[in-house]
Structure 1
Amino acid sequence: VCRINLYLSLSLMPWFYGNMFYFQLVIMAGTVLLAYYFEYTETFPVHIQGFFCFDKAFSKPYPGPEDSSKAPPVVVYSLVTAIPTVMILIGELASFFSKPEALQERTILTADCCYFNPLLRRIVRFLGVYSFGLFTTTIFANAGQVVTGNQTPHFLTACRPNYTALGCHSALQYISEQRACTGNPYLIASARKSFPSKDAALSTYCAIYTMYITMAWRTKGTRLTKPTLCLTLLSLAVLVGVVRVAEYRNHWSDVLAGYATGGAIAAFLVSCVINNFQQTEALPPPAVRPPRPEPPLSVPVVSTPSVESPLEKLSGSQVRGGHRG
């Protein structure tokens, strides 16, 4: 029975790992598609909120298109993608070649048909988890913007409402008509996506995830490098939020919500996925205790009765007689 159970477990392990690999690919593909639909299609319409007439919080000047920003989305997205990739590659290569025992482990079975180098397996796993978190952060940020429909500080400038036709006589009058805006529909739709700030969320996610990866380095000479990198990444994330607020593209509440969103997703993936993976990789083999030496067998000494022979008696009596004579 034990042999049958062992055979079944060994035969089912490749099937289990192979199916889990395909299941993870399906989840990743679904996440990418959902992020695409949120970002580039109108599948999920933006919630239309009303506004107060002459509201100063939404009457800031129009800062121009996103590409004219001091922190344009192309630069932010490029840094968010490139910095963690470079850090993971450098850190894993340095830690792998600095361990002599790692060079001896060439291949490892990961599915029913494939053998991968342990270095390649770790890099793919770290980058895969990071990519999944990046798309997840994008989905959460876009979903928050679509559901809430909060206006940007320059919303009324892009909206261009006709206050006379709307009958605005005081700033306390609330306008809830969907056709109140007369501006560019594309700019109006973009001005309704403010909460949370997607750029702040992605920057914070990148900073926290990369900070954990750099803090996990065990190579020599990185005591000053690691805190410098962490401080630089946090400073860049804060700078992105400050630029968004200074250019009237987001409110402070939007930026803080973006920080919280990206930080929460990064902390969850680090603590629940990457940390468990690190512990599994560093798990030492079970120590085999040497067998205890058994004490030597003590042979009991048994006193056997001695029988004196007649010849010994005779010789003894002769010796005593000779001494007397």
Structure 2
Amino acid sequence: MVIMAGTVMLAYYFEYTDTFAVNVQGFFCYEGAYRKPYPGPEDSSAVPPVLLYSLTAGVPVLVIIVGETAVFCLQLATKDFENQEKTILTGDCCYINPLVRRTIRFLGIYAFGLFATDIFVNAGQVVTGNLAPHFLALCKPNYTALGCKQYTQFISSAHACTGNPDLIMKARKTFPSKEAALSIYAAMYLAMYITSTVKARGTRLAKPVLCLGLMCLAFLTGINRVAEYRNHWSDVIAGFIIGISIAVFLVVCVVNNFRGRQPEHEHSHTDNLAQMPMISIPRVESPLEKLQILAPLCWHSTVMHLKTKTLRALLEQNQLYK
């Protein structure tokens, strides 16, 4: 909970405060990469932020709750309730419901990854200060005052723009694309959840169709950002890489591909073998060990044999003498 609270606070400072100053990146006079027309505010986009954030926050919650409830009901129907994972609180009789435990764990990890993706993206945007394709339309530089007589002249002054400062600041934060990163993270996490959790018959084709549909929506979101001149292709690709990397890391290394805890009898099998007495475990001796055990016996039998022969010889000599 402490780590989660710190992650949320860091994401808040990146998003809504000026604690971290954005790097002021310069540009060349009349540079064609930044001369695209201004597409309007984010709310006028085909995928507005309200819709994107609602889908990335609501769809995974709904899918995971429905999926865990279905799995729990199937386990009850197959009388497999005793084999479900549970967290013991006090004694052997009090435990958290497996449905609640798994749902909270998977949704908590998803929420952490969502804020972590936002932090990674905001950190990249603050450090690079990459300019949007429509930057010059918002900057409105006075080329005459700046002395732009050649296209190769580089403008690095922070006061070269005459447009709205708030819009200019947003146009300096495009790499990587936040919309692409959040959409692909949510789609990747859900796709891996569906693939790992849904084991019902008749879903051999339904699972890939659903997963590819989610991935397709995420890719369309990135393509829309480029088509509306809000991001460059490099911004979208970097956002995709960040979102996919965080989702794969959390699913594979943190929640172990959405697998529950192994039953106690599987964990205790090795411990029981280790605690068994040595006499009950069969053991194969090596040839060297056998020689070490048989050598004293052989020596003793040889000595006794020599002593017997000597006594017989002495007795025979004594009889001849008599």
The TM-score bracket by the shorter chain reads 0.7 to 0.9
1:171 is matched with 151
Letter matched to residue 260 of structure 1: I
Distance 1:282 1:90, change over 3 A: farther
For residue 274 of structure 1, report the CA deviation from its aligned partner: 1.3
Kindly report which structure 2 residues correspond to 1:12-27, keeping only aligned pairs within 5 A, or say none.
25-27=1-3
Q: Does 1:251 align with 2:232?
A: yes
Whether 1:54 and 2:30 are equivalent positions in the alignment is yes
Aligned to 1:84: 60
More displaced stretch, 101-110 vs 112-121: 101-110
Letter in 1 for 2:41: P
Per-residue CA shift, 1:125-147, capped at 9, x if unaligned? 00000000000000000110011
Q: Does the aligned pair in 2 maintain the 1:105–1:118 contact within 8 Å?
A: no
Instruction: Report the equivalent of 1:189.
Output: 169
Q: Equivalences for 1:199-238 in 2 at 5 Å?
A: 199-216=179-196, 217-238=198-219
Write the deviation string for residues 113-171 of structure 1: whole angstroms up to 9, x where unpaired. 98410110000000000000000000000110011000000001000000000000011
How far does residue 226 in structure 1 lie from its aligned partner after superposition?
A: 1.1
Distance 1:50 1:112 in 2: 63
2:110 equivalent in structure 1: 130
Which of 65, 74, 86 is the equivalent residue of 1:108? Answer: 86
Question: Equivalents in 2 of 1:62, 1:148: separation in Å?
Answer: 21
> Quick one: distance in 1 between partners of 2:55 and 2:178?
14
Match runs of 1:267-306 below 5 Å: 267-275=248-256, 278=259, 280-281=261-262, 285=266, 286-287=268-269
Equivalent residues, number: 269
Residues 83 and 263 in structure 2, CA contact (< 8 A), matched pair in contact too: no
Cα distance in 2 for partners of 1:169, 1:161 equals: 13
Helix, strand or coil at the partner of 1:108: coil
For residue 307 of structure 1, what is the aligned residue in structure 2? none
- Please give the TM-score of this superposition, normalised by the length of structure 1: 0.77
SS at structure 2 position matched to 1:227: helix
What is the DSSP-based 3-state SS (H/G/I as helix, E as strand, rest coil) of the residue aligned with 1:152?
coil
> Contact 2:187 / 2:215 at 8 angstroms: preserved in 1?
yes
Q: Distance in 2 between matches of 1:110 and 1:29?
A: 26
Change (3 A) 1:110 1:156: farther
Whole-Å separation in 2 of the counterparts to 1:112 and 1:150: 55
Unpaired runs of at least 5, structure 2: 274-279, 281-322
Q: Paired residue for 1:14?
A: none
Which amino acid in structure 1 is aligned with residue 43 of structure 2?
Answer: D
Percent identity for Structure 1 against Structure 2: 57
**Structure 1 segments (4+ residues) deviating >6 Å:** none
Q: 1:229 to 1:267 in 2, by over 3 A?
A: same
1:90–1:223 CA distance, 2 compared to 1 (3 A): farther
Hey, what's the Cα distance between the residues in 1 that align with 2:231 and 2:263?
A: 44
CA–CA distance in structure 2, aligned partners of residues 137 and 86 of structure 1: 21
Whole-angstrom CA distance in 2 between matches of 1:202 and 1:276? 20
What is the Cα deviation at residue 86 of structure 1? 1.4
TM-fit CA distance, 1:110: 5.1
Tell me how far 1:258 sits from its aligned partner: 0.3
The unaligned stretches of length 5 or more in structure 1 are 1-24, 293-325
1:262 aligns with 2:243: yes
Alignment partner, residue 138 of structure 2: 158
Q: Give the superposition deviation at 1:225.
A: 2.2
Q: What amino acid sits opposite 1:202 in the alignment?
A: L
Q: Distance in 2 between matches of 1:138 and 1:164?
A: 40
1:75 aligns with 2:55: no
**Quick one: structure 1 residues 140 and 180, their matched pair in 2 at CA, closer, same or farther if it must change by over 3 Å?**
same
In structure 2, the partner of 1:240 is 221
Q: CA deviation at 1:54?
A: 0.1
**Secondary structure class of the residue paired with 1:249:** coil
